[in-house]
Amino acid sequence: MVVILENNATEEQIKNIKQHLEDFGFQIHESSGVQRTILGAIGVKPGFDIRKVRILEGVADVYRVTSPFKLASRKFKEEKTVIKIKDVEIGGSKIAMMAGPCSVESEEQIFKLAEVVAKSGSKILRGGAFKPRSSPYSFQGLGEEGLRLMREAADQYGLLVITEVMQIDQIELISKYTDIFQLGARNMQNFSLLKELSKSEIPVMIKRGLAATIEEWLMSAEYILSGGNKNVILCERGIRTFETYTRNTFDLSAIPIIHNRSHLPVVADPSHATGLRDQVPPMARAAVAAGADALMIEIHHDPENALSDGPQALLPETFSQLMQELRLIAQAIGKTI
């Protein structure tokens, strides 16, 4: 249920409304926008008469939110969420660029690529240290050493770090090195991991599950929001369909759909969405045109010998060229990169 307060509601009235909601057994989440203040009252109350709230002084309107996601909904928070991390914003008019290798492989590799990322004007270095691979025989990542190397490379070039957390017992360790947690597609519905991440203040980027509907994806965001972490970012990385010419099918329409239904920022990952190097630039351009708040792109200086996801990694020159093109597209829709 959403309770919209009168613009001139007094503190006393607001306190009283909150008290009533609590007495009715609701959990309250406040959202103060530029226009108005909204109270989200969460908790299913069969047979609850909404008019009991409507008549309270200071209440302008009350309505039920019919979608299963509440805190992630635009109905609860009208203004878009802008996540600020140091000097970077995700969700505003500047499109944030996240780039780097699939996996951190060595000191030389990550420093080289961090330089490419910084020189291109991107602000966020990506890279996996714990690699969830489809095969147990594939490279599994450098672990803490990979985290340390990535943090050092990012600090040297003034970048933020985003890296994947796969399990609860890694949260504490990864918190020491990262600016953003990446929740992998295969873990989107690992609800115990989501609950633990909701207790952190570090932003969480939720990658869409391989076969997850947009609603299921938003419900995962709801887990993190309801646990108290308001810094949630969504990432479209392609879904599994019957098509075999690409690794996954890039669901571009998810971007405007999320923007319409939710206030949360959306990142597009054309690298995992297509799995093919030559498909990445066109899909990256399309994602910017569709309104993505950020892009995540895998790059590698020697993709033939990359330890993971080589076929989809852009060479540094191609990435720099792509950045120029993306800037022009961004400009055409009133944004910058």
The contact set with ligand PEP (CB under 6 A) reads 102, 128, 132, 184-186, 207, 237, 272
Partner whose footprint covers residue 207, from ligand PEP, Mn ion, none (CB < 5 to 8 Å by kind): ligand PEP
CB of 105 to ligand PEP, least distance (A): 13
Q: Structure tokens of 66?
A: 């019919």
How do strand 294-298 and strand 266-268 relate by DSSP bridges? Answer: parallel
Partner whose footprint covers residue 185, from Mn ion, ligand PEP, none (CB < 5 to 8 Å by kind): ligand PEP
CB of 84 to Mn ion, least distance (A): 27
Partner whose footprint covers residue 184, from ligand PEP, Mn ion, none (CB < 5 to 8 Å by kind): ligand PEP
CA distance linking residue 301 with residue 131, whole number of Å:
19
DSSP secondary structure letters along 244-263: -SSSSB--TTHHHHHHHHB-
Residue 197 makes CB contacts below 8 A (sequence gap 6+) with 165, 171, 181, 183, 204, 224, 227, 229
Q: Give the chain's length.
A: 337
Q: Which of 179, 222, 236, 309 binds Mn ion (CB under 5 A)?
A: 309
**Positive or negative torsion for Cα 123, 260, 327, 270:** positive
Q: Looking up tokens 């093919």, which residue turns up?
A: 276
Any contact of residue 113 with Mn ion (CB under 5 A)? no
Surface-to-core class of residue 318, CB atoms within 10 Å of its CB (0-12 exposed, 13-18 middle, 19+ buried):
middle
Which residues inside 233-262 make contact with Mn ion, applying CB under 5 A? none
Q: Which residue is nearest to Mn ion (CB)?
A: 102
CB of 110 to ligand PEP, least distance (A): 14
CB of 253 to Mn ion, least distance (A): 23
The neighbour count for residue 295, using CB atoms within 10 Å, is: 28
CA distance linking residue 128 with residue 138, whole number of Å:
14
Partner whose footprint covers residue 124, from Mn ion, ligand PEP, none (CB < 5 to 8 Å by kind): none
Partner whose footprint covers residue 39, from Mn ion, ligand PEP, none (CB < 5 to 8 Å by kind): none
CB of 31 to ligand PEP, least distance (A): 29
| Nearer residue to ligand PEP within complex by CB, 3 or 161 | 161
| Nearer residue to ligand PEP within complex by CB, 190 or 198 | 190
- Backbone torsions φ then ψ of 128, nearest 5 degrees: -100, 135
| Nearer residue to Mn ion within complex by CB, 185 or 219 | 185
Any contact of residue 293 with Mn ion (CB under 5 A)? no
Q: Which of 36-44, 89-97, 129-137, 308-316 is the region at the interface with Mn ion (rule: CB under 5 A)?
A: 308-316
> Measured in whole angstroms, how far is the alpha carbon of residue 39 from the centre of its chain?
24
CB of 141 to ligand PEP, least distance (A): 10
What are the CB-based long-range contacts (under 8 Å, 24+) for 156-160? 156/111, 156/114, 157/114, 157/115, 157/117, 157/118, 157/125, 158/118, 159/114, 159/117, 159/118, 159/122, 159/123, 159/124, 159/125, 160/85, 160/86, 160/88, 160/123, 160/124, 160/125
* CA-to-CA separations, 132 to 99, 125, 140, 200, 253, in angstroms, rounded: 19, 19, 7, 22, 27
CB of 209 to ligand PEP, least distance (A): 9
| Nearer residue to Mn ion within complex by CB, 102 or 160 | 102
- Backbone torsions φ then ψ of 298, nearest 5 degrees: -90, 135
Partner whose footprint covers residue 282, from ligand PEP, Mn ion, none (CB < 5 to 8 Å by kind): none
| Nearer residue to ligand PEP within complex by CB, 71 or 232 | 232
Any contact of residue 102 with Mn ion (CB under 5 A)? yes
Site string for Mn ion, 60-99 (x = CB under 5 A): ----------------------------------------
CB of 272 to Mn ion, least distance (A): 6
Contacting positions for Mn ion (CB under 5 A)? 102, 309
